[in-house]
Amino acid sequence: MSASRNLLLGLLFGLIAGAFWGGVFLAPKLLAAFTPLQMTAGRYIAYGLASAVLLAPSWKTVMAKMTAKDWRDLAALSLLGNLIYYVGLSVSVQSAGVALASLIIGLLPVTVTLVGAKPGEGVALRHLAAPLALVVAGGVCINVSVFTDSHGVGIGKQVVGVLGATLALAMWTAYAVWNARRLAATPKFTSHEWSLLTGLATGLLSLALVVPAFALGGEALAPAAHTLEAWGWFWMVSFAVAIGASVIGNGLWNAASRLLPLSLSGQLIVFETLFALLYGFLHEGRWPRGLETAAIVLMLAGVLWSVRLHRPRVELA
């Protein structure tokens, strides 16, 4: 496969993954009667079940390739990139809204590039300084917007929202870099198989959340969450997010990670932010405010600039 074809396919996979991932930010709003721990457990139990079903036809073949190290790495990756990440994201969205969470976590193109870029791989960091600065400027715009135009959100909730989103940002940065390196070193699994194995590991880990999430969490604060109709909606959203964002989105992201250097694939995470904002604005029935618009323009411009910088390098590889 030619380098230019790898570039185009990688960009396409990253774009579609972002469209699926963007829905993750809306889920906490749709499940406002539930706690972040309940949403995390529900989503990843659903992810585990869906992964087990999809793995069933090739179960023996895939399991024959597994080693103890594979299971250990999958468990650690699942904990970082799924369980802890989603708790932080859910806390942020429920505390301060979709815009804050999506645009702080939208700094992932910067953090993944800075942490994951290696000399001789992709474009040197010094050439990416300007486009990355635009992404950072976008993040500054949204933080100014949140703290100056809170629309009834108290300062305490805003701080909690920032802390939750920052935790999610740190967890997914570590996950994205480690997962990309692991995929490159593990050709025995396809991108789809690795995504399903991650789902299986995440589902098993999420069983530890069942008692604290469902037996102890949320009833006093959210009695509506315990009606039959509410639970039906809870599992419908959980499986939709699990299949769309986790199974399909993660599989596409794994494929993009194998086709592109981290200095470029990390930039594509901005599509998750843009789709999250789109879904959030649609859900709230409003247009983006001035600083939100500036943030979107700056972040998109930074990533498109970075793609442009990679294009000659990729095509000549």
Which of 16 and 148 is assigned the larger pLDDT?
16
Which of 271 and 139 is assigned the larger pLDDT?
271
- Residue 264 one-letter amino acid: L
Average pLDDT over residues 280-286: 85
- pLDDT, averaged across the chain: 83
Average pLDDT over residues 173-179: 92
Give Cβ neighbours of residue 12 (< 8 Å, ≥ 6 apart). none
| Distances in whole angstroms, Cα of residue 272 to Cα of each of 25, 26, 101, 113 | 9, 12, 11, 16
Of 131-140, 180-189, 306-315, highest mean pLDDT: 180-189
- Residue 130 one-letter amino acid: A
pLDDT number for residue 76: 96
CA 134, 139, 142 angle in degrees (round to 5)?
125
- Residue 18 one-letter amino acid: G
Tell me the pLDDT tens digit for each residue of 201-221: 999 999 988 888 887 655 444
| Percent over 90 (pLDDT), the chain | 31
